[in-house]
Structure formats: structure tokens, C-alpha cells
Amino acid sequence: MAEVVVENFIGGKFLSTEKYLDSYDPSTGVVWAKIPDSSELEVDQAVQAARQAFPGWSRTSVEERSRLMQHLADILESQQEEFAQAESRDQGKPVSLATRIDIPRMIYNFRFFSTVILHSTNSSTYLDKAEAINYTTTAPIGVAGLISPWNLPLYLLTFKIAPCIAFGNTCVCKPSEMTSVTAWMLSKAVVQAGIPPGVINVVFGVGPRAGQALVQHPHVPLISFTGGTATAQHIIKTSAPHCKKLSLELGGKNPSVVFDDADFENCVKTCVRSSFTNQGEICLCTSRIFVQDTIFQKFVDRFVQETRKLKVGAPKESDTNMGALISKEHLHKVKGYVAIAVQDGGLLLCGEGKESLDLKKENENGYFMRPTVIINVPDDSRSMQEEIFGPVTCINSFKSEEEAVQRANNVKFGLAACLWTSDVSRAHRVGHKLEAGTVWTNCWLVRDLNMPFGGTKSSGIGREGAKYSKEFYTEEKTICIKI
């Protein structure tokens, strides 16, 4: 019997559906929630509710929108513990990680964008020869379709909802069917905060049905999507007839480039964290490490030593470093990439196939694997080219800076990269050459929402963050007046 039965949130009301999906607790393999299996009917109901709410919401003052978002953040802050527990049950991540990262970031997303709109300005110019002034106005666009993935469920969904409603749009959200419970909990907080009915709507279900209905709905002019590149390609194709505005935040195959003048201990520990946080299920995680040959063996030895210290087990235990992967199918996919890396010539040093798991009885049917380190995998191996999206890192050595840059860039992705050196000139020089939307130097996952966030190449289209979200979630117009 499922502990939780999720309902669609449409026009401020919680509505049941005829059909439901099972949602599993990844740490036990047991069904813990039932999720609505919505069709285009429910999606259309949600779009109509969002359309009805749009005129009122778009005319609401920025001060009032900001106040309501801050009030929502206050309510979420008072419920952090419940959200962290539910996020962990849904996604398999350690409760400690949800408590430290996911839930505070959800709250920060609302607080940050609620203040951005209070200081937003537009541009103007004066043409002296024509004796004319030009100025721009920005207006919200309408109903946004917000489609989010399972790895950071609330972190990424609210990174869409917050700017969307802050700039005066309304939205229909479609969270991943594998992690829907906390979006339903968020909906209850939205009601408590007094955000008008229809401003935020949440429809649950599988991508090809509910998600697809949103992508193809004629009255949803913009789609913000985070997920796999293959799905994004399908969304581009099927939304094309409506010329929709798209923001696509996709996968990565992120390199870390380590020179022999790096701050060694900090570098090793941060590379372990960037490889295995959230079971490696973050688009910004490191999955390829290139180490200068002069320190390669020293680095590998320390990296494996630190990796072996990670505790894999029950997400609710405070000393758990790595929880369960999202699903049985995903665990199988990730293990498949380990086999490919070894078949292609890589040397397995620790993790899957090397060390056994030490799980409690209740977790024996969970989707766990040990963090895995493989060295000397050829660059053209599928495990070095494709996004694994799990706790697997491949480490290779390089001789020259040119070789490191060429190999780090030798993938179709370009989301993020890390660079480790104490040489300031090299930090700038190599940072400019790495093909990535974000390059972290001597750090990882330091995020400033004022700065553009998004990938190059097959890692996505568009940028999100303060002014960049304003560009996506509003339409700019130029008014020219003859003096």
C-alpha cells in the first residue's frame, strides 16, 4: 500500500485522476507513492487555468509578486525537514545532502528571483540626428511549460518556477514521474502562501504523454526543459510547428584538468566530491579527470583512497555519503558503462565489481553501487564519450597543456569543466579554451545566480540566471519617439 497518493494541482485545486503510476523508494525498491498518469486532458485543464490566471498575475505589481514569493519561501523554510526527508525517499539521495543542498537551494531560488524583479531596468538611447528617443519595455509572455528531471527534483523545478512567475508569467509544471512527491508538497505551500489559483499548476505523469501534451499545446508559448539530450531533440522537433521559445538544459561529460602545480589535497577531495555527490547524478558532476603525468600515480592513489572512504547505504543515516541510484534500469545502465570501459581497455581500481556493498536488510533491494574509478580508458570509448550519469569516474594522464585541452574538449557535450592549477596565467588561458558553459578553477559547484548558466554544444540551448531568465521569460519591445 503506497504511503503517498499524489494529486494534480490545477487552478488551485488538488485533483485525482483515473490512472496512477507506481513510484519507488530507490533505497528499498518498494513502491512508496502513487503518481497521477495524466493525459492531454489534464494538461489542457492546467493550461486553461494558467491562461485564466495570466491577465491578473501579469498585471500584479512586482512588489506584490515579490512579497508573495518571499512569503512562500518563509513557508518552505518552516518545512525544510519534511521536504528533505521526502526528497530523499523519492530520489535516493542522502537526507543530509537534501538538507544541505536541495532544499536550501529551492528556497533561495524563490528569494533570489523575488528580489531580481525589484531592480530590473530597461534600456534606452537618444538619436541626436534623428532627434528621437528609443526605449525598451519588457512584458511577460504567457503560460510556460516547465519540465524537470529526477536528479535534483525541487532544486531544478524551482529554478524554473521562480523566474517564470517573478517576471509575471503563469506555468504548468511537469516533474519527472520518478520524483513527483515533493512537487506535490510544494503545491500545498503555494496555496498556503496565497499565490492566486492558476499561477502555478502541476500535472504529473510520464513524459511521452503528459510532457508531450505540454510541448505540443498551442497555448504554451515557451518551454523550459531539463533532462536528456535525446528528449530535448524530440522536444525541438515536436514544438517546431508552434515556433515555441525553448530553454534546454541537458547532459554533460564534464572534465577536470589537473596540473602538477594544483593544491593537491584540496584538488583530490574536491574531485571526489564532484565525481560522486548525489550518486554522480548531477549534470555538473565530473566524469573524466585528466591528470598531468608527473603526478598521475600520486593522484590516482589518493583519489582511490578517498573514494574507498565513502559510505554507501541508507539515505536516512546521517553518515551516509552516497545513497541509491534512481531506478533499477538506471543502475543497470550505469553498470553497463563500467563493463564497456573495462572491455575497451580501462583498468578498474575500485567500486563496482571490485568491492561489495555493505547494506542493511531493508536496503538489499535498493539500487546501490559503490563509487567506481577506472584508469586509462581510451578517449573514444563510449564510457568516455557518453553521459553515464552515475558514480563512475575515468582518470587519464596527459603530458602537455595542449593535449589536455584537446582531450577535455573531445566530446559532444560542453556543460561544465574544472581546472586545477596555481598558475594564474594558465588558469585564464586554459579556462578560455575549455569548451564549457561554466569553468570552475580550483573549486566546483560554486554557483552565482547572477551569472549565465547553461551548456554549449549538445549540453543545451539558452542560459538561465538573473538577466538571462529575464530574457527568456519576458518579451522585449522597442518604442521610438520623435522629440
Residue 72, all three cell numbers: 512562500
Count the residues of the shown chain that bind ligand TXE, applying the rule CB under 6 A.
Answer: 27
> Does position 334 bind ligand TXE by CB under 6 A?
no
Q: Which of 387, 435, 464, 471 binds ligand TXE (CB under 6 A)?
A: 387
- What whole-number distance in Å separates Cα of residue 293 and Cα of residue 71? 54
Stretch that binds ligand TXE, among 50-58, 71-79, 145-153, 263-271 (CB under 6 A): 145-153
> Does position 283 bind ligand TXE by CB under 6 A?
yes
- What whole-number distance in Å separates Cα of residue 256 and Cα of residue 329? 28
Stretch that binds ligand TXE, among 31-39, 51-59, 133-141, 248-256 (CB under 6 A): 248-256
Contacts with ligand TXE in 296-325 (CB under 6 A)?
none
Of 176 and 421, CB closest to ligand TXE: 176
What residue type is assigned to position 472 of the chain?
F
- What whole-number distance in Å separates Cα of residue 287 and Cα of residue 189? 36
Let me know: does 281 contact 312? Beta carbons within 8 Å: no
Which among 238, 373, 230 has a CA at the least distance from the CA of 300?
373
Contacts with ligand TXE in 148-207 (CB under 6 A)?
148-151, 174-177, 206-207
HSE-up (13 A, CA, CB side) for residue 457: 17
Residue 451: DSSP 8-state: S
> Does position 391 bind ligand TXE by CB under 6 A?
no
- Minimum Å distance from CB 299 to ligand TXE? 27
Residue 203: DSSP 8-state: -
- What whole-number distance in Å separates Cα of residue 94 and Cα of residue 104? 15
Q: Which of 25, 42, 102, 249 binds ligand TXE (CB under 6 A)?
A: 249
- What whole-number distance in Å separates Cα of residue 26 and Cα of residue 365? 9
SS3 294: helix
* Beta carbons within 10 angstroms of residue 482's beta carbon: 8
- What whole-number distance in Å separates Cα of residue 215 and Cα of residue 224? 10
- The site string for ligand TXE over 196-235 (x = CB under 6 A, - otherwise) reads ----------xxx--xx--x----------xxx--x--xx
Contacts with ligand TXE in 420-479 (CB under 6 A)?
none
SS3 314: coil
SS3 412: coil
> Does position 245 bind ligand TXE by CB under 6 A?
no
- Minimum Å distance from CB 445 to ligand TXE? 13
- Minimum Å distance from CB 258 to ligand TXE? 24
Catalytic center residues: 249, 283
- Minimum Å distance from CB 138 to ligand TXE? 27
- Minimum Å distance from CB 375 to ligand TXE? 23
- Minimum Å distance from CB 231 to ligand TXE? 3
Binding stretches for ligand TXE (CB under 6 A): 147-151, 174-177, 206-208, 211-212, 215, 226-228, 231, 234-235, 249-251, 283, 387, 389
